[in-house]
Structure 1
Amino acid sequence: GSSNNNNNKKDPIVAALNDESLPVEKTLEAAANMIRKVYSEVPSYDALLEAALRVPLVELNTHCHFQPGIPVEPMLAKPTKSIQEVLKRLDGQEFTCEYKYDGERAQIHKTNDGALKVFSRNLLETSGKYPEVPLFVQEAAAAAVANRRNETGDKNNSNNNSNGTNDKEEENPANSFVLDAEVVAYDHEKGQLVPFQVLSTRKKTVDEGEVSKVQVIVQAFDLMYLNGKSLLGKTLRERRSLLHKHFAPVEGRFQFAKALDAKEDGDTTVLEQYLDAAVKGQCEGLMVKTMVDIYEPSRRSLNWLKLKKDYLDGVGDSFDLVPLGAYYGRGKRTGVYGAYLLACYDQDTEEFQSVCKIGTGFSDEDLQSLSASLNEHKLEGGKKSSQYVVSDSLEPDVWFDAVQVWEIKAADLSKSSTHRGAVGKLEEGRGIGLRFPRFERVREDKRPDQATNSDQVLEMYYNQDSVKGQGGGEDQDDYDGI
């Protein structure tokens, strides 16, 4: 529409594509940026190609833009270590702290024809897993309309001839929308949230009995699209105000993420107390977001920061890593794999780089089920994939396809002569490895290419207090806990 064209005049990518004086590599860079930007809003090659064949590249974003029915990768947050770091990064901007719920990210779409669908952070449809979620969201939208009618009823009677159009606008229901939310397991009897472990027992498609066995609640925190208009370019303050206007809480079914709005005045105690309250309320921690940020799909933005309780306790960082291989168990672990080789992902080279060997944190059931599920993905001929960057001294007994992602906690990171995390980004021949890694859980909601990447590993390494003052401790390769 026309609003898009107006935006286009200011768009630096469009300006670069229109600038004939630019050298060809700059034009190509702008073309790549245009495709990247459009794809982040419409992650469908079919839609992209269809539009690219129809219109000039410079107009691609006006013909191919975010709309309900095609999920986009959610905006992600950067992990932070301390409340001080959060305040330093936000540097005087207004921000809000939302509870970070321990559930599954859900993008809830309603298209113009009234169809409702739920998508995971992986862009997979999860409507079959959460059939009650669309219903809860509809109820929340209806409740908001009812609330507004009650509020505007009296006003309309007193001045029904002044600005009728605005009142009609006020009453507009949410006919098409995209909501960003977390689906969390919920105990109706006690009226409280339940840990993720319970939610993870839900099957991919459920029947009535399953729905009542593991009950859920929708915790909504963002609105990305409303009634024909994309809100991605609006500030969080505007998006949240529209969310609260067009949806209303419904007891035990739909709530807004709890949030504390703050101005940066250097007072860490308020944040500490709020973080504590979040953790006591069965949440993982806080999401800290600046009020002026726009919604950038698939970007890990500096405007969204993640503050988890365990980061603060110094228990260690959490990493999402990919198992590449395994070592046969000994003693009571015979018959299953006793240890695994895990890797981070390098986005530039599309390679997996080993960062630790892990044998702790597994229950006996974990060892059984992980061995069974990974055995289906053994690499034929016992040869490693060319995508795997692993030193010979770590050669496992069995190699696997990169199919799973595991959440791992580790005490810290150190330079390693054997591991290959962020290799080439430190001094010659050195990589980064994790010390004292522990298995937490399998991340069903992540693809291997969404694992912790080598730049994040490098950043976490340099952010350690032990490294900040000097070149970082050497490791003694003693940290495999095996």
Structure 2
Amino acid sequence: MSDSPLFADFCNLLQTLSNQRGTEEKKKRLRRFVHTWRVKYGDFLPAMRLLLPQVDKNRYRLKESRLAKAYIDALGLGRDSEDAYELLKWKLPSSSKYSKSSGDFSAVAYEIIRSRSTVTVPTRTVHETVELLDDINASSGNEKKQSDYFKFAVTHYTAEEHQWLIRTILKDLKIGMSETSVFDVYHPQAKELYSVTSDLKKVCEKLQDPFARIGKSTIQLFHPFKPQLGQKQVPKNVKQLAHNGRFYIEEKVDGERAQMHYEKLSGDFKWFSRKATDYTDLYGSSKDSLDKLSGQVASCLAADSFILDGELVAYDPQLDVFLPFGTLKSSVLHGPFDIDDIHPCFLVFDIVYCNGVSLIDHPMEQRLEVLKAVVTERRGCISFIFRKEGTTFQHIVQALDEATTLNQEGIVVKNPGSIYEPGARNHSWVKVKPDYIDELRDNCDLLIVGADYGTGKRGSKLSQFLCAIRDDRLSSDESPKFATFAWIGTGYTVNELEEFSKIRQHFRSYNPRSQPEWLVHPEKSSESPDMIIDYHNSIVVEVKAAEICYANTYGSGYSLRFPRFARFRPDKSWKDCMTYQDVVTMKREGGQMNLSMSSRRPLSQDTFLNQKKKRLAIKDINRKRKGTSLIPTQIGTDSSGIKIHTSLFEGMTFYVVSGDDSHNKAELEKVIKSHGGSYEQTAKNANYVIAGSNINGVRIMALIQSQEHDIILPTWIMDCVKSQDIVPITPKYTVFLTKATKDKMSESIDPWGDSYTEQVNEQSLREIFQNIRQQELHDSARLIDDIKRKYFPRSEVPGFLFWRVTALLDFSPLNAPSLGRPSTISVDEAARNDRLDVVDLMIQSQGGTTHKYLGVDGDIDTEITHVVLDDCHLDGMQRIFKALTGRRQPRFVSMKWVSDCLDNRSLLDERLYEPRTTGSRVAN
């Protein structure tokens, strides 16, 4: 019996999975393959390594450029030959027979190998292929040996097999199956076991029998595991994070996640990265290695054995500071450990194993007690992460504000009662960064200075563009210079992409060693372009983004987070683009830009008139202030003429800070008085503080800071009046609650607003589900945000094109009789609803949220980013605009905006799709 099937058969499986649609269908096909393998060949490890190259321990250190050179040598291609050029410039468009493969290196290589290879019959097995890949990995750094292995591959593997060999080496099979899906097919406990061992061999050995069940897996000394990760969000529901009313707030360090394994008897160390990469050679394998970090920390460790979880950072003893992430590796590689020079330091935040016992099932507060007992700090070598306790959301806000002031990355909030879950990303640890809270205020006008050819369908087009800012630190008599700033690869339509092609003839190949004098860009930057364009021949574009951040891979030292093309600026030249000082100023002021146009109110003549009136009113107030003890917003309503209708609020004193969109401060005070209550203009003697609009204002934030008063929304007052009873205060009515109130409330209400004692009705159940739904949406948004930042920095996340969109669809009402209209709708209106139904599905299928507007007052109960109108029925435009008065004005767009965004796989500029009626622009 052969030990494995032919590699060609395995390649056929991969091709089938790649072509198959739907995860479940892929799983069925893979499940049949796994079953056959188990019956015929036993050990599934060789196949598992090929199915999951991204988690296999082989690192290869080969990218497309080095692979191209290896194949040029193995195939005996002339350096100046057409095929060699195609391999080296695989991303560039081609006029040759390989043009359809442009943008996919494995496809280009397949075409070239197929036209030259004499191997037509496959002979190599999966097992032999894995051995070849191991040899290629082991020869990393030895070009001659590596070249010999590729020459062997060219003479023993077919072109089809080479395509999958290349994808394996690049660790991207493109079969549409995640690591979790593959593990799930192999065995229900495979993912769990891999999380605590990071060892495919153990997974395949222990779970070879599909019906076998193992006990709860746990971590082991000197075996890497996948660390627990934190959610990225703003944790407003701190009760989920609290244990006995408190939680931990830790500094978020800009380092490299690492785990340290140590055994006192042998003196052995092991260091592993988050992805289980063995870093022991870098940081030391023994307590006697004084030229490594291990030798410096050994004396600080008191237990017989343990595993510590933490962050490796670079430490500067001269400045007594921890340095940014990019300096860590250089601090290790520049020479032996020198306590007086920049060196690595281990910041510990958890212990998961001690004296032969796993601690992962123990609560965090107990693990930290053990940590302090067995580890002694040594400044600059091993330290505990800075940690403090909190009890309210305001403590989180304060900690984040302090972190921002100190230019730190953010904070991590942790539940003291939580266990450690290897490989999990759950709500017991929450990461909070400043960019989760704010977004940029203004867009950037940037100059195009470079471009890259796209991949896949855009393989023959310049589709990603490098933007720059003008360096205005130069004197006026010096030639202008432009520093690279950010890449854009999304936001434009196919037609707009064609607009970029108008300057295509001015692009020329980029050579980092002969950079033009006007361009400022790091020579060895990983963000270098394929082509560059002289600034005289270029164009200015407007770019939206989320944040300005530091980035040493760009000439400016800064970059943008989530940049997106907004529009061309033909009215501007290179002299008018954003400058270095503009960037520094914006970064100093918070570096926040508005990613969505929906947060801007439309400017009109009335807007400027109102602003002028506002300025005059402020001047008038300032003139009168000298003789007035309170400013106008602190002067109470004249209650002398108010009649008392009921005694609903008798004996209750209110302080109304502000009203809301429905009732202003004066109206609320009249309501309180007319129902037997009284009101003050300070919180000192008030039983209830009421605040609606501007809940982030100075006075409200000061009240929250004091933590002495509950702050209630105005809707509570109106609901009490409506029911003629004092309605219980639930989370939906609150802005802020004191700890005492929250503790009391938690005895009768769960975090979602569901009472333990009161019967629910349809309305209250809807509110509970809405609270849960909002939290789920918030969590999903942060997860998508993280995925985009890591894996799709120049494009949209596939399947979530509209995830930031909350659309209002202008449907023709179907329940017309209740609105005083005819009981039936016309054929025309029915067709309109059908068209909007399709748009509804389009938006939701790409992660967006939709709401149907049927013309009923109060029908809009959420924050809307876009209003989608049928081009054939624009009569509701002004009606909706009126209904949205007082809110952030959304973007009004036609249905074509939705379909065009889907066609272009990118969010397009809404201004191009504004509906128009008889030549007049929509009020946006």
Relative to structure 1, is the Cα distance of residues 239 and 330 closer, same or farther in structure 2, using a 3 angstrom cutoff?
closer
Query: How far, CA to CA, are the matches of 1:222 and 1:117 in structure 2?
Result: 16
Aligned alpha-carbon RMSD (Å):
5.0
Match of 2:241 in 1: 90
TM-score, length-scaled by structure 2: 0.31
The SS at the match of 1:208 is: coil
Q: 1:346-385, aligned counterparts within 5 Å?
A: 364-365=520-521, 369-370=525-526
Call closer, same or farther: CA 1:413–1:228 in 2, change over 3 Å. Answer: farther
State whether structure 2 residue 413 is matched by structure 1 residue 288: yes
Pick closer, same or farther for the CA change 1:189–1:88 going to 2, 3 Å.
same
Give the whole-Å Cα distance in 1 for the aligned partners of 2:803 and 2:467: 38
1:134 aligned onto 2:263:
no
Work out whether residues 202 and 210 of structure 1, in 8 Å CA contact, stay in contact via their aligned partners in 2.
Answer: no
**How far apart are 1:247 and its partner, in Å?**
0.5
Secondary structure of 1:66 counterpart: coil
Range moving further from structure 2, 467-476 or 37-46: 467-476
Are 2:230 and 1:77 equivalent residues in the alignment? yes
Alignment equivalent of 2:908, drawn from 455, 477, 481: 477
Compute the displacement of 1:87 (Å).
2.6
Query: 1:44 maps to what in 2?
Result: 199
Deviations 1:308-328 (A, max 9, x none): 133334349xxxxxx974647
Larger deviation, residues 460-469 vs 365-374: 460-469
Are 2:215 and 1:61 equivalent residues in the alignment? Answer: yes
How many aligned residue pairs are there?
A: 332
- Contact in 1 for aligned 2:353/2:359 (Cα 8 Å): yes
> Could you say what secondary structure the match of 2:345 adopts?
strand
Query: Does residue 278 of the first structure (1) align with residue 403 of the second (2)?
Result: yes
Q: Which runs of 5+ in 1 are unaligned?
A: 1-27, 142-172, 317-322, 344-356, 358-362, 376-405, 416-431
What displacement does 1:461 show? 6.6
TM-score (norm 1): 0.55
1:244 aligns with 2:398: no
Per the TM alignment, residue 246 of structure 1 is displaced from its structure 2 partner at its CA by 0.8
C-alpha deviation, 1:198, in angstroms: 3.0
How far apart are 1:299 and its partner, in Å? 1.5
Question: Is contact 1:34-1:61 (8 Å) kept?
Answer: no
CA contact (8 A) 1:181 1:219 kept: yes
Alpha carbons of structure 1 residues 284 and 466: separation in structure 2 relative to 1, 3 Å: farther
1:104 maps to which residue? 256
Q: 1:65: Cα distance to partner?
A: 3.5
Instruction: Quote the offset at 1:124 in angstroms.
Output: 0.9
Q: Cα offset for 1:469?
A: 2.2
Relative to 1, partners in 2 of residues 1:457 and 1:126: Cα closer, same or farther, differing over 3 Å?
Answer: farther
C-alpha distance in structure 2 between counterparts of 1:288 and 1:433, whole Å: 19
Q: Which has the higher strand share?
A: 1
Q: Following TM superposition, by how much is the alpha carbon of 1:370 offset from its aligned partner in structure 2, in angstroms? A: 2.6
CA distance 1:57–1:277, shift in 2 (3 Å): same
Please tell me the residue identity of whatever aligns with 1:184: V
Which residue number in structure 1 is paired with residue 628 of structure 2?
Answer: none
Query: Between Structure 1 and Structure 2, whose CA radius of gyration is higher?
Result: 2
Summarize the Cα distance change of 1:433–1:57 in structure 2 as closer, same or farther, 3 Å threshold.
Answer: closer
Match of 2:268 in 1: 115
Separation in 1, partners of 2:299, 2:433 = 32
Cross-structure match for 1:199: 328
Q: Corresponding residue for 1:34?
A: 189
Partners of 2:345 and 2:380 within 8 A in 1: yes
Instruction: Please give the alpha-carbon distance, in whole angstroms, between the structure 2 residues aligned to 1:114 and 1:456.
Output: 50
Asked if the contact 2:331/2:343 (under 8 Å) is kept, the reply is no
Which residue is equivalent to 2:389?
261
**1:96-129 deviation line (CA, Å, top 9, x unaligned):** 0011111111111125743212111121122333
Q: Identify if the C-alpha distance between structure 1 residues 126 and 237 changes in structure 2 by more than 3 Å, giving closer, same or farther.
A: same
Change (3 A) 1:338 1:198: closer
Q: Secondary structure at the match of 2:282?
A: coil
CA distance in 1, matches of 2:299, 2:368: 18
CA distance in 1, matches of 2:320, 2:863: 50
Please state if 1:218 is matched with 2:356.
no
Return the offset for 1:331. 10
Q: After alignment, is 457-466 or 71-80 more displaced?
A: 457-466
Q: Deviations over 1:235-285 (max 9, x none)?
A: 1111111111110111222111111112x3x461x3333333334445311
* Residues 290 and 304 in structure 1, CA contact (< 8 A), matched pair in contact too: yes
Q: Where does structure 2 lack aligned partners over 5 or more consecutive residues? A: 1-182, 285-291, 442-452, 456-461, 470-481, 492-499, 501-518, 532-558, 564-592, 598-779, 807-846, 852-860, 867-890, 892-896, 898-906, 911-924
Partner Cα separation in structure 2 for residue 456 and residue 137 of structure 1: 46
Deviates more, 1:100-109 or 1:88-97: 88-97
| Structure 2 contact 227–422 (Cα < 8 Å) conserved | yes
Corresponding letter in the other structure for 1:128: D
Instruction: Give distance in 2, aligned partners of 1:249 and 1:366.
Output: 39
Q: Is the 8 A contact 1:178 1:224 kept in 2?
A: yes
* Structure 1 Cα separation of the partners of residues 261 and 375 of structure 2: 14
Range that drifts further, 178-187 or 209-218 = 209-218
Question: Structure 1 residues 51, 447: closer, same or farther in 2, change over 3 A?
Answer: farther
On the 8 A contact 1:108/1:117 being kept in 2, the answer is: yes
Closer, same or farther in 2 for the Cα pair 1:470/1:43, shift >3 Å? same
SS in 2 for 1:223: strand
SS at match of 2:283: coil
Give the Cα–Cα distance (whole angstroms) in 1 for the partners of residues 257 and 194 of structure 2. Answer: 20
Contact map agreement 1:184 1:194 (CA 8 A) in 2: yes
| C-alpha contact (below 8 Å) 2:317/2:341 kept by paired residues | no
Measured in 1, the distance between the counterparts of 2:467 and 2:384 equals 51
Bigger relative contact order, structure 1 or 2 (CA pairs below 8 A, ≥6 apart):
1
**Which amino acid letter does the alignment assign opposite residue 295 of structure 1?**
Y
